[in-house]
Each structure stands twice: as structure tokens, then as C-alpha cells.
Structure 1
Amino acid sequence: MPQNEGSQHDGASHERFEEELGAVLRSTGDGFAVDDRRELVAGGLRRGRRRLVRRRLAVTGGVVALAAVGIGGAYGGSLLGPAGQATTTSVAAPPQPGQANGTGTGARTGKKPFAQPQIPVKDIAAVLKAHTPAGQWRFDDLDGKGQSATGVYDDGRGEAGVSVGLYRAGETAESGIDQVMCPDRALVPFDSCTSERLPGGDRLMVFQGYEYPDKREETKNWRAVLLTKDGIVIDASEYNAAAEKGAAISRETPPFSPAQLKALVTADAWGPLLRQLPELPKSPEGPGRAPSVPSAAAVQATLRSLLPGGVTVESHGGGDGHGYVVVDDGKGASLVGVDVQPLPGDGIEGLFTGAGVVTLPGGTKVRSTQQAGEKGGAGVVWWSVDTLSPKGFRVSVSAFNSGAQHEAATRAEPALTMEQLKAIALSPKWRKLPLK
């Protein structure tokens, strides 16, 4: 049966890796920004972070960094602090071959390169056209090979950007379950979302929301994401503008109804193309497995246990490796979130250098930041404490003076002080959590 609208899903850390990588590269002068989801899928995954990776890191996934990346229906719920950490929540793009395991071409890591996509883009576009209402189409590129097709559709009521991508979620269908779960309204605003298990074992999410959580532009994003019982993702998105970003609104709503989106991603015609998808590379932890992190339940329970007295938990949620609570001390709602990364990966040390970073006697580095919110909520401020132990164990805690980053401030300051955030981040409880 479909889940209720707004059913809670594990917040995806899809955006975490890309944003952290962007911060590291910027700090070294490379100026490389990875915040545009569109290029996630380039060359084989044409629609990158649409934002799992922003995340490939984004709205559902609760897995760490590279594991969370995907064009599927993942939403970024990470609440990492400033300096490039993810706090955005939006609909992301599915895992690129090799990235589900945190692997790339292998040139630097010594691992075998992943197989390049070999599906003719024109074949993907042909199935897309054959399973949508009649209209005029133009596509970005029909001559190459990849795993997605992006084009502009016009039924006479205005142009609409449309894309569809085919991806392996991981070793099993459960590897991509976060991509077909509806986001939490505390993190992502949307008009409608349903998630259901179909006859035969496939899972489907149909989402009607917005390109920007803060709605700074009225670009609507409607999408359907199918996760097959074999662990393959079919992700279709449409907009009420000719492009995902940077295009004027051309129609009131995207052209295809939720029922038509469902019919598109569940079409039998995808079968021959899915069989052409490259296999994911194997890692020491096993094919398609993400780095080990604490479970969603363990993170949320630990966060609640570390809250200071005098606050009431109004709601809570999150995913594996991260969690959040909305608390109220009688002065208004305040969102508090934590990310726990036992093995954050290479390059993270770059976030803990320079002014504002304190090294404690035991060697743990602490970065404390107070800044304006970045998700569009009027008057929102964002306080965070990010910590990294000598052995690479990272805990980041953030707090806001609003119950949701994209909503207006409900109070002058967050409910927790900077010292209280620091105490939570440095608690030894995090290192005692079992990993999964």
C-alpha cells in the first residue's frame, strides 16, 4: 500500500561528499564547485546531483558520502556544518558506476576502473518518447552512449525539461531503498509524495515538489523513481521550465501527470536497456556496499540522550549516519542535526585547517561556525560545531533558529548554545555506536 504523503525517509547524505569535496578543492585554489546536480550524470550519469550526489549526495539517502550518491529519488537530509558540509535537502541523482562503493576511475586509488556505460542515448530517448503523450521533442545529444537522456518536451502548453536515467543502486534492491522513500517535510517541502511496493516486488516513489527547497524560483520538479527487485533504478524527472535550472517558468505545471510518470518508469520497454547496464565494481567491503556507519535508530537515540535539559523534542528523523530533532524550549522550534562519519575519507583534513580551527589536547580538531542560513528561510541562522579525531572519526552538529531551514526563523537564536553543540559533538557516545 502507498505510504502516507510526507512519510519520513532516511535523509540522504548524497550531497555531503560533493559539497565537502567542493570545499576542499576551493580551499586549495582549484575553485571547483560541485553543487550543480545536473552534471552528475554527465557521460554516463548525465544528471548529477540533480543533487544523493549533489550527492551525487541528496532527499532520502542516509548513507555516507559516495554511498549516497544517486540520480534516484534520494533526498539530502545531512546537517553537516559549514565549510562545505551538506545541509541542503533536495532531490538527488542515482549512483554512478563505481561511486556506490566510493570508487572512481581507479587511477588514484589503485582499484579497477568501472565499466563505462554502453547504452545508446537514442535508445533511451526512444523509449521515453514512446511512453509519453504526443508532443514535440528535442534532445541534448542522441549520438553518444550513456545511462540517461535529457531533452525538452512541448505539448503546445509550454516547454518542459524532461530527463530519464537508468542506474544500478547497488548489490541488492535494498541498497537503493532510500531513493524510493518520501522525504520528511521538516527537511524538504513538497506538494505530494507517495511510496509503494508494486506487485512483483518493485518499489516506486512519485514526488511532486520543487527544484529549490526555499522556492526562490517557482520551478516545479515532478519525478517518478522505480527501484526494481534486482536493484536497478529508473528515474524520470520533469519541470515546468525548459531546464532544471536557469530557465524561465514556461507553464504552470510539468506536463506529465503522476499516473503518466508511473507508466513511464514501469514500462516493459526498459528491459532490454537495463540488461546493458555495466556491473558495479567490487570493493573490499563487498560489491555495492557503503562504508559502515551507525544505524539511523542509534544516531537518533544518542542525539536525544545528549540534549540539554529544558528542551522538548517535537519531532525527529534522519538516516544511517545522521539524524535530527526539532526541539522547543518554550521560545520556538529549533532544528538540531548531527552527522557521524567513522571514516569520512581522504581530503577531509582540508576542512580542519586555517583560522577558526582549534586542536584539543588529545588531537581532536574542532571547527565552530556561526553564519546565516542558506536555504531561504527568512532570518535563519546556522550554528555548527564540526569535529575530527586523530583517527578520522568525524562528528558534526548543527542547530538553527527555525524548525526547518527553508522556513522563517521562529526565534532569535537556536535553542542550543555553541558550548552545548560542542559537548554533543565531542561526546564519547558516538564512538561506541555499533556500525552497520
Structure 2
Amino acid sequence: MPQNEGTQHDGASHERFEEELGAILRSTGEGFAADDRRELVAGGLQRGRRRLVRRRLAVTGGVVALAAVGIGGVYGGSLLGPAGQATTTSVAAPPQPARADGTGTGAGKKPFAEAQIPVKDLAAVLEANTPAGQWRFDNLDGQGQSVTGVYDDGHGEAGVSVGLYRAGRTAEAGTDQVTCPDKALVPYDRCTDGRLQSGERIMVIQGYVYPDKHEETKNWRAVLLTKDGILIDASEYNAAAEKGAAISRENPPFSLTQLKALVTAEAWRPLAAQLPQLPGKPGKGEGRDPSVPSAAAVQATLRSFLPAGATVTSHGGGDGHGYVVVDDGRGASLVGVDVQPVTGDGIDELFTGADVVTLPDGTKVRSTQQAGEKGGAGVVWWSVDTLSPKGFRVAVSAFNSGAQHEAATRAEPALTMEQLKTIALSPKWRKSPLK
């Protein structure tokens, strides 16, 4: 595929993938222009829709807890929500609908404004825009904004889902969902992203439900971000369900061409128009949480603590969170930080127990050394999580690998527990400039 048609993120030559995707995007007379990567990072990851970047996978560990999510999960994001609570949402689940007031979770927020689209209408569009086969759908008598079914073309059953979501109220909202992730955070086989001539963004990604492949369930996904700020998100599997079902075929059933045709089908548009509107216009600075350091400030502050001689080989994140992969000559080490004000029920429960130390000023500190949890052989996870009396939380983690799902590259992380504690307790985080 010509360089100006898209951005390939696979680290190797995948000519068939490139050729097919190029053909898909040219088949309707549309080009595929590579976006300015700075725009994608600054817009999608810094100010993208907060509810999309907030599927937390653990209670401690910060942004690096995302280092081995399946491809349906977040591509960049924070561990901590406004209430400081972790969620257990499936990493391959679609994003949640917008709240009635367009904000995130937390005490006093309004309940989710659920769409009332008949599921049978969503199923009809899905069936009409995929190859002939036998379908079995869930909840056809219900209402919502997503449809889940099992498709069989005679070569094995395959789970398929499509969801419609409003990205948010800023121009950049949702771009993180159509931007290929850093492989330090999300492992996958191939990914391509870019912009159609219409101005709409699209991403096609091929990966797995489980990053360590302990079950080789494949997840192929296409996501379109329309000019109206609607995300049309389709996923398919080589099993009858995302999780808990035996692999039934070598690959998911739909080709890249068919996935692209599915998410760009015009028949989704009138259904998407039924999604609840987000009231009002975004105010100045809206699209990011208040009182957290900007993405640039997080990177600058985190890097200021790195040992002399350590080289940053990869980095990323957004407002209030970030990570770097460093190498001091002894192997790659992933280091991440989450910085957020947190309030609400349950936060104090995270800082109880014999391993929690309360400092003279009332700040609580939990230090943890444990084995990695994402499948990398020999990986260890060191973390320091702190909470000030006023509810300002800083969590820092380090691993002895460049990615949790990859084997250890060194005996210990590049930073000691004492260094992690120094970072987490530093007053620099409260002084970091806000955007």
C-alpha cells in the first residue's frame, strides 16, 4: 500500500494485509490518508472520550495495567475513574453509552442514557451487510445500541457484535478508538488506521482476545468514526463467543473488505441518529478531567525521575496518565504512572491492610511486589500506590519487561521500589501545569 494511504503498525511486512486493506479503501473511490501522528496522540489520547479510555483492569498499577488487554479494550487510558474505583468490564466489550450529562462516572452523576433502538433493527442491518449464512441473535425483542449474534457460513460458528456509540462532545473524542495502539500496551498481529476521503476515520485491527494466547480466540475488529461523532464498532471471533467458547474455525468469517463494508454501511446512519444526544456544547477545556496534569506534563515529570543513562524507547498516555519503556543497557522495562484526584465510596478500602503505611501528613502508601499477571514468562510487577488526605492519588508501576505479555528481559525492573516511592510521593505532580 502506498505510504500516503494509511499507517501500518505491525513491525513486519504483511503484504497481503496491506494490499487487501488498500483495495478495501479504494473500492468505493475513497483514499486512505495517514493522519498526523501528533494530532492523533494530542487529540485522541489526551482529550478523547474519557468513558472510552476508562476500562480499568486492576486496582493498582496505573496505566500499565493496560499493557496486555485484548484488542477490543482500551488503546491508551487511565486506571482510575473519578470515583477511584476499578471496573471489571470485559476488555473486548464495546464502550458504554454516554451519560445523560455527557460526563464520566462518580457520585452524583446522572444514570446512563440508554438508547432505545430495537435490537431486531440492528440485527437486520448486520445480516443484510454480511455474506449469506445462518444467524442466531440475542435479545431480539429488546432495545439498546448493540447487537450480538452467532454466524455460521458452514465453516464453523463465529460470534459477531456491532455497537453504535456517541464518541463525545469534542472534535477529537473517539479518535483513540480508531488509532492503532502501541504494542507495548496492546498486542496484536496487524493494524491499520487512517482517514477516508469523506473525512471519517477508520481502523482495522487483527489480534486476540487473550494477549498471551492461552486460548487462541482471534478478535478481528473494524471501527469507524463518522463526521457526526458516531462510533460504529464491529468485532468478530473464530469462536461462537468472545470468551468461554471453543475455537470453531481457523479465522473469523469476514474478510477485511467485508468488515469495512459492514461498518460503513449507510443503513447504520438512521439507527445511529436515534442515539441520545449529549446536551450542550463543550465548554473551555472540556474533554479532559479537571485537576490532572496534561499528557505532556505527565511525560516530562515521569522522565525527570528516570535513572541517568536510561533510554526511552517507547512512550504514550494522556492527561493524568502515561508510560515509558526504558532501557538502561540491561534490558527493556515498562514504567507507568496514573495521577488523578479520586473521591467516592470504596477508595479508602483500597488503602487498608498490613502493607499500607500512613505517613505523618496522612498520606497512605501501599507498596507491592508481585508476579506479572499478563502471561509474560518471568515478569515481575513492582508498584507504589499513594493517596493523600485530600484524595490525590498517584500510582506508579514498573516491570522487568517492555510489555507485560512478553517474557522478562531483565531480573528486576529498571527502577527500585524506593525510586517508585519517590516518584509517587513527589510534589511535582500537584505542580504540573494543567491544560
TM above 0.5 = yes
Compared CA separation, residues 88 and 170, structure 1 to 2 (3 A): closer
The match for 2:8 is 4
Amino acid of the structure 1 residue aligned with 2:400: N
The match for 2:322 is 323
- Cα distance in 1 for partners of 2:172, 2:282 equals 19
For residues 221-262 of structure 1, the C-alpha deviation after alignment (integer angstroms, 9 at most, x for no partner) is 000111112211110000000000011111111111112111
TM-aligned CA deviation for residue 13 of structure 1: 4.3
Q: 2:151 aligns with which of 143, 153, 156?
A: 153
Question: What is the number of residues matched between the two proteins?
Answer: 385
The match for 1:95 is 96
The match for 2:408 is 409
- Cα distance in 2 for partners of 1:258, 1:319 equals 30
The match for 1:227 is 225
The correspondence of residues 3-402 of structure 1 with structure 2, limited to 5 A, is 3-6=7-10, 10=45, 13-16=53-56, 19-20=58-59, 58-62=73-77, 65=80, 91=92, 93-98=94-99, 101-103=103-105, 109=108, 111-280=109-278, 289-292=287-290, 293-343=292-342, 346-402=345-401
Compared CA separation, residues 127 and 87, structure 1 to 2 (3 A): closer
Deviates further, 288-297 or 397-406? 288-297
Amino acid of the structure 2 residue aligned with 1:239: Y
Compared CA separation, residues 197 and 414, structure 1 to 2 (3 A): same
The match for 1:45 is none
Compared CA separation, residues 320 and 290, structure 1 to 2 (3 A): closer
Compared CA separation, residues 208 and 345, structure 1 to 2 (3 A): farther
The match for 1:70 is none
CA contact under 8 A between 2:71 and 2:187: conserved in structure 1? Answer: no
TM-aligned CA deviation for residue 359 of structure 1: 1.1
**Which structure would you say has the larger RCO, counting Cα contacts within 8 Å and 6 or more residues apart?**
2
Amino acid of the structure 1 residue aligned with 2:152: D
TM-aligned CA deviation for residue 211 of structure 1: 0.3
Amino acid of the structure 2 residue aligned with 1:93: P
CA contact under 8 A between 2:99 and 2:110: conserved in structure 1? Answer: no
CA contact under 8 A between 1:281 and 1:287: conserved in structure 2? Answer: no
Deviates further, 294-303 or 119-128? 294-303
Deviates further, 225-234 or 125-134? 225-234
- Cα distance in 2 for partners of 1:308, 1:87 equals 35
TM-aligned CA deviation for residue 288 of structure 1: 7.9
TM-aligned CA deviation for residue 349 of structure 1: 2.3
Compared CA separation, residues 343 and 433, structure 1 to 2 (3 A): farther
Q: Percent identity?
A: 72
The match for 1:76 is none
CA contact under 8 A between 1:385 and 1:397: conserved in structure 2? Answer: yes
Compared CA separation, residues 317 and 172, structure 1 to 2 (3 A): closer
CA contact under 8 A between 2:58 and 2:79: conserved in structure 1? Answer: no
CA contact under 8 A between 2:75 and 2:185: conserved in structure 1? Answer: no
TM-aligned CA deviation for residue 51 of structure 1: 8.7
- Cα distance in 1 for partners of 2:271, 2:311 equals 51
Deviates further, 183-192 or 117-126? 183-192
Amino acid of the structure 1 residue aligned with 2:265: A
TM-aligned CA deviation for residue 198 of structure 1: 1.5
CA contact under 8 A between 2:169 and 2:281: conserved in structure 1? Answer: no
- Cα distance in 2 for partners of 1:425, 1:353 equals 18
CA contact under 8 A between 2:80 and 2:340: conserved in structure 1? Answer: no
- Cα distance in 2 for partners of 1:345, 1:324 equals 26
The match for 1:71 is none
- Cα distance in 2 for partners of 1:20, 1:286 equals 31
SS at match of 1:212: coil
Amino acid of the structure 2 residue aligned with 1:15: R
Compared CA separation, residues 344 and 408, structure 1 to 2 (3 A): farther
TM-aligned CA deviation for residue 194 of structure 1: 1.0
- Cα distance in 2 for partners of 1:348, 1:397 equals 17
Amino acid of the structure 2 residue aligned with 1:60: Y
CA contact under 8 A between 2:80 and 2:86: conserved in structure 1? Answer: no
For residues 297-329 of structure 1, the C-alpha deviation after alignment (integer angstroms, 9 at most, x for no partner) is 221121111112242222222222211111222
- Cα distance in 1 for partners of 2:183, 2:193 equals 14
- Cα distance in 2 for partners of 1:287, 1:318 equals 18
Deviates further, 271-280 or 119-128? 271-280
Which 5+ residue runs of structure 1 have no aligned equivalent?
22-34, 36-48, 53-57, 68-79
CA contact under 8 A between 1:366 and 1:385: conserved in structure 2? Answer: yes
The match for 1:426 is 425
CA contact under 8 A between 2:71 and 2:207: conserved in structure 1? Answer: no
CA contact under 8 A between 1:94 and 1:233: conserved in structure 2? Answer: no
CA contact under 8 A between 2:338 and 2:395: conserved in structure 1? Answer: yes
Compared CA separation, residues 87 and 407, structure 1 to 2 (3 A): farther
TM-aligned CA deviation for residue 387 of structure 1: 0.9
- Cα distance in 2 for partners of 1:60, 1:344 equals 25
Compared CA separation, residues 132 and 138, structure 1 to 2 (3 A): same
Amino acid of the structure 2 residue aligned with 1:95: Q
TM-aligned CA deviation for residue 86 of structure 1: 8.5
Compared CA separation, residues 390 and 322, structure 1 to 2 (3 A): same
TM-aligned CA deviation for residue 343 of structure 1: 3.9
The match for 2:29 is none
Compared CA separation, residues 421 and 64, structure 1 to 2 (3 A): closer
